[in-house]
Amino acid sequence: MKKPILYIVIPCYNEEEVLPITSRDFLAKIYELIEKDKIDGKSRVLFVNDGSKDKTWEIITKLAQEDEHFIGIAQSRNRGHQNAVLAGLMEAKDKADITISIDCDGQDDINAMNEMVDAYLDGCEVVYGVRSKRDTDTFFKRFTAETFYKLLYAMGAEVVFNHADYRLVSSRVLREFADFKEVNLFLRGMFPLVGFKSTSVYYERHERIAGESHYPLRKMLALAFDGITSLSIKPIRIITGLGTFISILSFLAIIWTFIMFYMKNSVVGWASTISIICFIGGVQLICLGVLGEYIGKIYMEVKHRPRYIISERTWDQKDTKQN
Protein backbone atom coordinates (compact mmCIF):
# COMPACT_ATOMS: atom_id res chain seq x y z
CA MET A 1 0.00 0.00 0.00
CA LYS A 2 1.18 3.48 -0.87
CA LYS A 3 2.29 5.41 2.19
CA PRO A 4 0.07 8.42 2.90
CA ILE A 5 1.35 11.96 2.69
CA LEU A 6 0.61 13.68 6.01
CA TYR A 7 0.16 17.42 6.45
CA ILE A 8 0.14 18.68 10.02
CA VAL A 9 -1.97 21.85 9.91
CA ILE A 10 -1.15 24.37 12.62
CA PRO A 11 -2.97 27.70 13.11
CA CYS A 12 -0.74 30.36 14.66
CA TYR A 13 -1.75 33.71 16.05
CA ASN A 14 0.85 35.77 17.88
CA GLU A 15 2.85 32.72 18.80
CA GLU A 16 6.45 33.97 18.56
CA GLU A 17 7.18 32.64 22.02
CA VAL A 18 6.08 29.07 21.46
CA LEU A 19 6.73 28.52 17.75
CA PRO A 20 10.53 28.13 17.97
CA ILE A 21 10.03 25.41 20.61
CA THR A 22 7.05 23.47 19.30
CA SER A 23 8.09 23.60 15.62
CA ARG A 24 11.05 21.34 16.54
CA ASP A 25 8.69 18.80 18.06
CA PHE A 26 6.41 18.80 15.02
CA LEU A 27 9.37 18.29 12.69
CA ALA A 28 10.75 15.51 14.88
CA LYS A 29 7.34 13.82 14.74
CA ILE A 30 7.27 14.01 10.93
CA TYR A 31 10.76 12.47 10.75
CA GLU A 32 9.84 9.80 13.26
CA LEU A 33 6.75 8.77 11.29
CA ILE A 34 8.71 8.77 8.03
CA GLU A 35 11.42 6.59 9.59
CA LYS A 36 8.79 4.21 10.95
CA ASP A 37 7.57 3.86 7.36
CA LYS A 38 4.09 5.08 8.26
CA ILE A 39 4.00 8.20 6.11
CA ASP A 40 5.55 9.41 2.88
CA GLY A 41 8.68 11.60 2.76
CA LYS A 42 6.61 14.32 1.07
CA SER A 43 4.78 14.95 4.36
CA ARG A 44 4.84 18.51 5.66
CA VAL A 45 4.25 20.72 8.68
CA LEU A 46 1.93 23.45 7.38
CA PHE A 47 1.71 26.61 9.48
CA VAL A 48 -1.19 28.99 8.97
CA ASN A 49 -0.38 32.47 10.14
CA ASP A 50 -3.68 34.01 11.21
CA GLY A 51 -2.78 37.67 10.77
CA SER A 52 -0.32 37.75 13.68
CA LYS A 53 0.91 41.09 14.85
CA ASP A 54 4.23 39.83 16.18
CA LYS A 55 7.14 37.98 14.54
CA THR A 56 5.21 34.73 13.90
CA TRP A 57 5.34 35.01 10.09
CA GLU A 58 9.05 35.84 10.09
CA ILE A 59 9.67 32.72 12.18
CA ILE A 60 7.57 30.60 9.79
CA THR A 61 9.40 31.84 6.69
CA LYS A 62 12.73 31.18 8.39
CA LEU A 63 11.67 27.66 9.33
CA ALA A 64 10.58 27.05 5.73
CA GLN A 65 14.05 27.99 4.51
CA GLU A 66 15.74 25.74 7.05
CA ASP A 67 13.87 22.53 6.31
CA GLU A 68 11.75 21.57 3.31
CA HIS A 69 9.29 19.80 5.59
CA PHE A 70 8.20 23.17 6.96
CA ILE A 71 5.82 25.21 4.83
CA GLY A 72 3.53 28.10 5.66
CA ILE A 73 0.63 30.19 4.43
CA ALA A 74 -0.55 33.50 5.81
CA GLN A 75 -4.08 34.87 5.99
CA SER A 76 -4.43 38.49 4.94
CA ARG A 77 -5.75 39.36 8.39
CA ASN A 78 -6.83 37.78 11.63
CA ARG A 79 -9.95 35.69 11.01
CA GLY A 80 -9.96 33.51 14.10
CA HIS A 81 -8.87 29.99 14.87
CA GLN A 82 -11.62 28.11 13.01
CA ASN A 83 -11.04 29.97 9.75
CA ALA A 84 -7.29 29.50 10.05
CA VAL A 85 -7.71 25.74 10.46
CA LEU A 86 -10.10 25.64 7.50
CA ALA A 87 -7.63 27.60 5.33
CA GLY A 88 -4.89 25.12 6.18
CA LEU A 89 -7.07 22.07 5.55
CA MET A 90 -8.30 23.37 2.20
CA GLU A 91 -4.71 24.15 1.19
CA ALA A 92 -3.65 20.63 2.14
CA LYS A 93 -6.57 18.67 0.71
CA ASP A 94 -5.18 18.27 -2.81
CA LYS A 95 -1.57 17.76 -1.76
CA ALA A 96 -1.93 15.39 1.16
CA ASP A 97 -3.67 12.08 1.81
CA ILE A 98 -4.20 12.85 5.47
CA THR A 99 -4.15 15.99 7.59
CA ILE A 100 -3.86 16.42 11.32
CA SER A 101 -4.93 19.78 12.73
CA ILE A 102 -3.37 20.76 16.04
CA ASP A 103 -2.72 23.96 18.03
CA CYS A 104 0.82 25.26 18.05
CA ASP A 105 1.10 25.84 21.80
CA GLY A 106 2.17 22.32 22.77
CA GLN A 107 -0.99 21.67 24.80
CA ASP A 108 -2.10 18.69 22.76
CA ASP A 109 0.11 15.63 23.06
CA ILE A 110 1.73 15.11 19.65
CA ASN A 111 2.45 11.47 20.44
CA ALA A 112 -1.24 10.78 19.88
CA MET A 113 -0.47 11.32 16.18
CA ASN A 114 1.08 7.84 15.98
CA GLU A 115 -2.19 6.29 17.08
CA MET A 116 -4.14 8.57 14.75
CA VAL A 117 -2.10 7.49 11.74
CA ASP A 118 -2.45 3.85 12.78
CA ALA A 119 -6.22 4.29 12.98
CA TYR A 120 -6.18 5.76 9.47
CA LEU A 121 -4.10 2.86 8.19
CA ASP A 122 -6.74 0.60 9.77
CA GLY A 123 -9.42 2.23 7.64
CA CYS A 124 -10.72 5.22 9.62
CA GLU A 125 -11.17 8.44 7.68
CA VAL A 126 -11.63 10.76 10.67
CA VAL A 127 -9.84 10.32 14.01
CA TYR A 128 -10.87 12.61 16.86
CA GLY A 129 -8.32 13.52 19.51
CA VAL A 130 -10.15 13.43 22.85
CA ARG A 131 -8.78 14.80 26.12
CA SER A 132 -8.80 12.04 28.68
CA LYS A 133 -8.14 14.35 31.65
CA ARG A 134 -8.29 18.02 32.28
CA ASP A 135 -6.05 18.07 35.35
CA THR A 136 -3.82 20.79 33.97
CA ASP A 137 -6.72 23.15 33.27
CA THR A 138 -7.86 25.47 36.01
CA PHE A 139 -11.14 24.60 37.69
CA PHE A 140 -12.80 27.50 35.93
CA LYS A 141 -11.61 26.46 32.45
CA ARG A 142 -12.61 22.87 33.09
CA PHE A 143 -16.02 23.84 34.39
CA THR A 144 -16.78 26.25 31.56
CA ALA A 145 -15.48 23.80 28.94
CA GLU A 146 -17.58 20.94 30.26
CA THR A 147 -20.67 23.11 30.53
CA PHE A 148 -19.98 24.15 26.95
CA TYR A 149 -20.12 20.54 25.69
CA LYS A 150 -23.22 19.74 27.74
CA LEU A 151 -25.01 22.85 26.50
CA LEU A 152 -24.14 22.04 22.91
CA TYR A 153 -25.46 18.53 23.33
CA ALA A 154 -28.66 19.72 24.99
CA MET A 155 -29.22 22.13 22.13
CA GLY A 156 -29.01 19.37 19.56
CA ALA A 157 -25.50 19.99 18.22
CA GLU A 158 -23.74 16.65 17.98
CA VAL A 159 -20.14 16.96 19.04
CA VAL A 160 -17.60 14.48 20.36
CA PHE A 161 -17.31 15.15 24.10
CA ASN A 162 -14.01 16.80 25.09
CA HIS A 163 -12.76 16.91 21.51
CA ALA A 164 -11.50 20.27 20.32
CA ASP A 165 -9.78 20.64 16.97
CA TYR A 166 -7.02 18.06 17.27
CA ARG A 167 -8.05 15.54 14.65
CA LEU A 168 -6.94 13.52 11.69
CA VAL A 169 -9.01 13.91 8.54
CA SER A 170 -8.37 12.14 5.23
CA SER A 171 -8.27 14.11 1.99
CA ARG A 172 -11.29 12.15 0.84
CA VAL A 173 -13.36 13.55 3.70
CA LEU A 174 -11.90 17.01 3.09
CA ARG A 175 -13.04 16.95 -0.53
CA GLU A 176 -16.58 16.27 0.67
CA PHE A 177 -16.17 18.82 3.43
CA ALA A 178 -15.29 21.46 0.84
CA ASP A 179 -18.98 21.36 -0.17
CA PHE A 180 -20.00 22.68 3.22
CA LYS A 181 -20.02 26.31 2.20
CA GLU A 182 -21.19 27.96 5.39
CA VAL A 183 -19.46 31.02 6.74
CA ASN A 184 -20.20 30.38 10.42
CA LEU A 185 -17.66 27.71 11.17
CA PHE A 186 -17.79 25.21 13.95
CA LEU A 187 -15.48 22.53 12.64
CA ARG A 188 -15.80 20.03 15.47
CA GLY A 189 -19.55 19.88 14.94
CA MET A 190 -19.33 19.81 11.15
CA PHE A 191 -17.03 16.84 10.63
CA PRO A 192 -19.48 14.43 12.27
CA LEU A 193 -22.02 15.65 9.68
CA VAL A 194 -19.75 14.54 6.83
CA GLY A 195 -19.83 11.00 8.16
CA PHE A 196 -17.42 8.22 7.12
CA LYS A 197 -15.74 5.77 9.47
CA SER A 198 -14.35 7.53 12.50
CA THR A 199 -12.80 6.76 15.84
CA SER A 200 -11.26 8.57 18.82
CA VAL A 201 -7.84 8.47 20.40
CA TYR A 202 -7.29 9.69 23.95
CA TYR A 203 -4.50 11.92 25.21
CA GLU A 204 -3.66 14.10 28.16
CA ARG A 205 -3.73 17.82 27.68
CA HIS A 206 -0.71 19.76 28.95
CA GLU A 207 -0.30 23.36 29.93
CA ARG A 208 0.59 25.97 27.37
CA ILE A 209 4.37 26.06 26.86
CA ALA A 210 4.51 29.86 26.83
CA GLY A 211 2.36 32.86 26.02
CA GLU A 212 -1.31 33.25 26.84
CA SER A 213 -4.52 31.64 25.70
CA HIS A 214 -6.38 33.47 22.96
CA TYR A 215 -9.61 31.89 24.11
CA PRO A 216 -10.89 33.87 27.06
CA LEU A 217 -14.42 33.28 28.34
CA ARG A 218 -15.80 35.87 25.93
CA LYS A 219 -14.50 33.98 22.89
CA MET A 220 -15.56 30.63 24.34
CA LEU A 221 -19.11 31.93 24.72
CA ALA A 222 -19.04 33.26 21.16
CA LEU A 223 -17.85 29.86 19.93
CA ALA A 224 -20.56 28.07 21.91
CA PHE A 225 -23.18 30.39 20.43
CA ASP A 226 -21.81 29.80 16.94
CA GLY A 227 -21.81 26.08 17.56
CA ILE A 228 -25.43 26.00 18.66
CA THR A 229 -26.78 28.36 16.02
CA SER A 230 -24.84 26.87 13.14
CA LEU A 231 -25.77 23.28 13.88
CA SER A 232 -29.25 23.41 15.29
CA ILE A 233 -32.53 25.29 15.10
CA LYS A 234 -33.56 23.99 18.49
CA PRO A 235 -33.67 27.49 20.05
CA ILE A 236 -36.45 28.36 17.57
CA ARG A 237 -38.28 25.16 18.48
CA ILE A 238 -38.06 26.27 22.10
CA ILE A 239 -39.85 29.53 21.18
CA THR A 240 -42.59 27.63 19.34
CA GLY A 241 -42.95 25.30 22.32
CA LEU A 242 -43.07 28.23 24.70
CA GLY A 243 -45.68 29.95 22.50
CA THR A 244 -47.90 26.89 22.52
CA PHE A 245 -47.47 26.48 26.26
CA ILE A 246 -48.34 30.14 26.97
CA SER A 247 -51.32 29.96 24.60
CA ILE A 248 -52.69 26.99 26.49
CA LEU A 249 -52.11 28.85 29.75
CA SER A 250 -53.82 31.97 28.41
CA PHE A 251 -56.74 29.90 27.19
CA LEU A 252 -57.11 28.52 30.71
CA ALA A 253 -56.74 32.07 32.05
CA ILE A 254 -59.55 33.25 29.76
CA ILE A 255 -61.84 30.53 31.09
CA TRP A 256 -60.84 31.53 34.61
CA THR A 257 -61.62 35.22 34.01
CA PHE A 258 -65.04 34.26 32.69
CA ILE A 259 -65.70 32.20 35.80
CA MET A 260 -64.58 35.15 37.93
CA PHE A 261 -66.79 37.45 35.85
CA TYR A 262 -69.89 35.30 36.30
CA MET A 263 -69.19 34.84 39.99
CA LYS A 264 -69.20 38.64 40.13
CA ASN A 265 -65.76 38.54 41.72
CA SER A 266 -64.27 41.18 39.48
CA VAL A 267 -64.53 44.86 38.72
CA VAL A 268 -66.14 45.93 35.44
CA GLY A 269 -63.75 45.73 32.50
CA TRP A 270 -61.23 43.46 34.23
CA ALA A 271 -62.33 40.23 32.59
CA SER A 272 -62.29 41.58 29.06
CA THR A 273 -58.91 43.31 29.53
CA ILE A 274 -57.18 40.24 31.00
CA SER A 275 -58.69 37.99 28.30
CA ILE A 276 -57.41 40.19 25.53
CA ILE A 277 -53.90 40.45 27.05
CA CYS A 278 -53.62 36.69 27.51
CA PHE A 279 -54.95 36.00 24.05
CA ILE A 280 -52.66 38.47 22.30
CA GLY A 281 -49.63 37.24 24.28
CA GLY A 282 -50.18 33.61 23.35
CA VAL A 283 -50.99 34.27 19.71
CA GLN A 284 -47.97 36.51 19.31
CA LEU A 285 -45.57 33.92 20.65
CA ILE A 286 -47.00 31.20 18.41
CA CYS A 287 -46.70 33.54 15.42
CA LEU A 288 -43.09 34.28 16.35
CA GLY A 289 -42.39 30.58 16.62
CA VAL A 290 -43.98 29.85 13.22
CA LEU A 291 -41.99 32.68 11.63
CA GLY A 292 -38.92 31.31 13.39
CA GLU A 293 -39.54 27.86 11.94
CA TYR A 294 -39.50 29.32 8.43
CA ILE A 295 -36.42 31.42 9.17
CA GLY A 296 -34.75 28.29 10.55
CA LYS A 297 -35.59 26.45 7.32
CA ILE A 298 -34.24 29.35 5.23
CA TYR A 299 -31.11 29.36 7.37
CA MET A 300 -30.53 25.68 6.74
CA GLU A 301 -31.24 26.14 3.01
CA VAL A 302 -28.83 29.03 2.49
CA LYS A 303 -25.99 26.94 3.86
CA HIS A 304 -26.22 24.82 0.68
CA ARG A 305 -24.93 21.81 2.51
CA PRO A 306 -24.61 18.65 0.44
CA ARG A 307 -27.75 16.56 0.69
CA TYR A 308 -25.95 13.24 0.48
CA ILE A 309 -22.42 11.92 0.43
CA ILE A 310 -21.55 8.54 -1.09
CA SER A 311 -18.88 6.62 0.77
CA GLU A 312 -18.85 3.30 -1.08
CA ARG A 313 -19.65 1.96 -4.55
CA THR A 314 -19.59 -1.64 -5.72
CA TRP A 315 -17.72 -0.79 -8.90
CA ASP A 316 -14.20 0.45 -9.37
CA GLN A 317 -14.00 4.10 -8.33
CA LYS A 318 -11.37 4.85 -10.99
CA ASP A 319 -13.89 4.14 -13.75
CA THR A 320 -16.04 7.05 -12.72
CA LYS A 321 -15.27 10.70 -12.58
CA GLN A 322 -14.06 11.72 -9.11
CA ASN A 323 -16.89 13.26 -7.15
Work out the angle at residue 94's Cα, subtended by the Cα atoms of residues 92 and 99, and round it to the nearest 5 degrees: 40
The nearer residue to ligand UDP, 211 or 281, going by C-beta atoms, is 211
The nearer residue to ligand UDP, 71 or 288, going by C-beta atoms, is 71
Task: List, edge to edge, every strand of the sheet that includes 70-74.
Answer: 70-74, 44-49, 6-12, 98-101, 163-170, 126-133, 198-204
Q: How far is the CB of 299 from Mg ion (least distance, A)?
A: 31
Contact partners, residue 56, CB within 8 Å, separation at least 6: 12, 13, 14, 15, 16, 19, 49
SS3 content of the chain, % helix, strand, coil (to 5): 50, 15, 35
Q: Choosing among ligand UDP, Mg ion, none, which partner's interface includes residue 125 (Cβ < 5 to 8 Å by kind)? A: none
Q: 13-32 mask for ligand UDP (x: CB under 6 A)?
A: x-x-----------------
Please pick, from the candidates 6, 39, 74, 84, the single residue that binds ligand UDP as defined by CB under 6 A. 84
- Contacts to Mg ion by CB under 5 A: 103, 105, 107
If one asks whether residue 109 binds ligand UDP (CB under 6 A), the answer comes out as no
Please pick, from the candidates 4, 39, 43, 80, the single residue that binds ligand UDP as defined by CB under 6 A. 80
If one asks whether residue 176 binds ligand UDP (CB under 6 A), the answer comes out as no
**What is the SS3 assignment for 189-214?**
HHHHHHCCCEEEEEEECCCCCCCCCC
Half-sphere exposure of 197 (CA within 13 A, CB side): 9
Contact segment (CB under 6 A) with ligand UDP among 22-30, 65-73, 77-85, 222-230 equals: 77-85
Phi and psi angles of residue 69, each rounded to the nearest 5 degrees, phi first: -75, -15
If one asks whether residue 202 binds ligand UDP (CB under 6 A), the answer comes out as no
Q: Is the Cβ–Cβ distance between 118 and 198 less than 8 Å?
A: no
Please pick, from the candidates 4, 11, 189, 289, the single residue that binds ligand UDP as defined by CB under 6 A. 11
Q: Choosing among Mg ion, ligand UDP, none, which partner's interface includes residue 261 (Cβ < 5 to 8 Å by kind)? A: none
Residues near ligand UDP (CB under 6 A): 11-13, 15, 50, 78, 80-81, 84, 103-105, 107, 213-215
